[in-house]
């Protein structure tokens, strides 16, 4: 199989409290639909969408996780192997904003420091907002995440969330390839994911797919990030 025939597959987890719009976000992105009726996710749900980015075919595998505490034992298992994360809170739900730091900790415990976007959803309800814009900006800086404000209902900035994450993952993949080429010793850092064993260059070629994997956890950043986040909350 030719290299140009391969696609890149990226596993993205969407986390945050219940009712912040996680399921609606991936439904909007993958199917172009929206429903205002709230239905609690039981455990996890999964959708995918294929896009073209920088000349690459990219398949985004989106894992929607339940935000309720009773599902923690189930959902944490699905974090493993994720290469990117959407960390969502609602403009009209103060608890979801204050829980963002703990959600990031849960993902980092399983995946290390992966590309993450902090998403403030429901900006169409700014007149009812319980989160100041400055607070959201401070949190994004403390967590080391880009902040993107979205309205899933009005389809505002939903595409931007996932294209940004895909671009970050592609950049990391290319950097890993460059580092591997420069090493010249035939060795590559071992990575582990939920998708199974890797070959020497850290990718798995299955059915014409390159599974992009998270690299070594950079946990020294997490301690500083969480300390800063706790200081502002």
Neighbours of 128 (CB within 10 A): 9
CB 142 within 8 A of CB 105: no
Joined tokens for residue 34:
């929206």
Which stretch of 66-70, 148-152, 222-226 has the lowest confidence by average pLDDT?
A: 222-226
All domains of the chain in start order, with CATH: 8-178 (3.40.50.300)
For residues 171 and 189, the model is more confident at 171
pLDDT of residue 55: 87
pLDDT at 160 over 80: yes
pLDDT of 42:
57
The CA distances from residue 134 to 129, 130, 165, in Å, are 12, 12, 23
pLDDT interval class at 65 (50, 70, 90):
confident
Give the whole-angstrom CA distance, residue 29 versus residue 108: 25
Question: In this predicted structure, which of 83-97, 149-163, 171-185 has the lowest mean pLDDT?
Answer: 171-185
pTM: 0.76
Percent share of the chain, pLDDT over 90:
55
- Average pLDDT over the chain, rounded to whole? 79
| Cβ-based burial of 219 (10 A; exposed 0-12, middle 13-18, buried ≥19) | exposed
Model confidence band, residue 79 (pLDDT cutoffs 50, 70, 90): confident
Question: Poorest-confidence range of 27-36, 83-92, 105-114, 170-179?
Answer: 170-179
- Choose between 37 and 214: higher pLDDT: 37
User: Is pLDDT above 80 for 49?
Assistant: yes
Distance CA 32, CA 174 (A): 31
pLDDT given at position 176? 78
Confidence of residue 71 (pLDDT cuts 50, 70, 90): low
DSSP, residue by residue, 149-171: E-BTTTTBSHHHHHHHHHHHHHH
The mean pLDDT of 61-66, rounded to a whole number, is: 88
What is the arithmetic mean of pLDDT over 151-168?
A: 97
Q: Report the alpha-carbon distance of residue 197 to residue 7 in Å, rounded.
A: 18
Residue length of the chain? 233
How far is 210 from 206, CA to CA, in rounded Å? Answer: 7
pLDDT of residue 122: 97
Max CA pair span of the chain = 59
| pLDDT at site 215 | 43
Q: Which of 108, 114, 88 is nearest to 99 (CA)?
A: 88
Lowest mean pLDDT among 15-29, 65-79, 133-147, 161-175: 65-79
């Amino acid at each position: 199989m030719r290299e140009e025939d391969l696609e890149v597959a990226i596993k993205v987890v969407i986390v945050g409290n219940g009712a912040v719009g996680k399921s609606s976000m991936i439904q909007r992105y993958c199917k172009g639909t929206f429903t205002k009726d709230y239905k609690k996710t039981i455990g996890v749900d999964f959708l995918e969408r294929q896009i073209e980015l920088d000349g690459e075919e990219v398949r985004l595998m989106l894992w929607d996780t339940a935000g309720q505490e009773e599902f923690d034992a189930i959902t944490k298992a699905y974090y493993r192997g994720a290469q990117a994360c959407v960390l969502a809170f609602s403009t009209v739900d103060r608890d979801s904003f204050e829980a963002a730091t703990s959600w990031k900790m849960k993902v980092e415990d399983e995946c290390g420091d992966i590309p993450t976007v902090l998403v403030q959803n429901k900006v169409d309800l700014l007149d009812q907002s319980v989160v100041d814009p400055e607070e959201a900006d401070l949190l994004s800086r403390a967590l080391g995440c880009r902040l993107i404000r979205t309205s899933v209902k009005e389809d505002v900035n939903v595409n931007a969330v996932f294209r940004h994450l895909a671009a970050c993952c592609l950049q990391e993949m290319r950097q890993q390839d460059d580092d591997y080429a420069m090493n010249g010793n035939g060795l590559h850092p071992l990575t582990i994911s939920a998708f199974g064993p890797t070959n020497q260059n850290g990718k798995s070629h299955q059915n014409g797919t390159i599974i992009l994997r998270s690299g070594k956890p950079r946990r020294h950043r997490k301690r500083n990030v969480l300390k800063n986040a706790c200081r502002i909350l």
